[in-house]
Amino acid sequence: MACEKIGFIGTGIMGAPMAHNLLKAGYEVAVHNRTKVKADHLIAGGAAWADSPADVAKDSNIVITCLPDTPDVEQVLLGQKGVIEAAKPGLICIDMSTISPAATKEMGSALAAKGVTLIDAPISGGEIGAIEARLSIMMGGPKKAVEKVRLIMQAMGRTVIHCGPLGAGQITKLANQIMCIHTIMSIAEGFAFAEKAGLDLETTLKVTSAGAAGSHSLKTLGPKIIAGDFKPAFMVDLQQKDLRLVAEYAEKLKQPLPGVALARQLLAQLQAQGRGRDGTQALVEVIRQLGQK
- Residues 221, 224, 227, CA angle at the centre, nearest 5°? 155
User: Which structural domain range is residue 283 located in?
Assistant: 172-291
Distances in whole angstroms, Cα of residue 265 to Cα of each of 98, 100, 126, 268, 287: 21, 21, 23, 5, 12
Please identify, among 115, 132, 165, the residue that sits at the C-terminal boundary of a domain.
165
The predicted pLDDT at position 293 comes to 72
Residue 279 CA: distances (Å) to CA of 35, 163, 250, 256: 22, 28, 25, 26
Please, which residues have CB within 8 angstroms of residue 50's CB and are 6 or more apart in sequence? Answer: 7, 30, 31, 32, 56, 59
Angle at 167 between CA 162 and CA 168, to 5 degrees: 40
Q: In terms of domains, do 62 and 113 share one?
A: yes
Query: Which residues pair with residue 94 across a beta bridge?
Result: 64, 119
Whether residues 85 and 39 share a domain: the answer is: yes
Could you tell me the pTM of the whole model?
0.94
Last residue of a domain, one of 109, 131, 165: 165
> Are the beta carbons of 247 and 264 closer than 8 angstroms?
yes
Same domain, 79 and 123: yes
Where residue 195 sits, what CATH number does that domain have?
1.10.1040.10
The torsion region of residue 81 among left (phi > 0), alpha (psi -120 to 50) and beta comes to left
Is the same domain home to 285 and 191?
yes
Q: Are residues 212 and 141 in the same domain?
A: no
Query: Of the listed 36, 88, 114, 173, which one is catalytic?
Result: 173
Q: Examine the fold and report which residue of 165, 186, 214 is the final residue of a domain before the chain moves on.
A: 165
**146 and 125 both lie in a single domain:** yes
Quick: pLDDT tens for 18-32.
999 999 999 999 999
What is the Cα–Cα distance from 67 to 59, expressed in whole angstroms?
Answer: 21
Question: In this structure, what CATH number is given to the domain that contains residue 24?
Answer: 3.40.50.720
- Name 254's Cβ contacts closer than 8 Å, sequence gap at least 6: none
Give residue-wise pLDDT tens across range 118-168. Answer: 999 999 999 999 999 999 999 999 999 999 999 999 999 999 999 999 999
Per-residue pLDDT for 17 more than 90? yes
Domain count, the chain: 2
Active site residue 88: no
What pLDDT does residue 1 have?
43
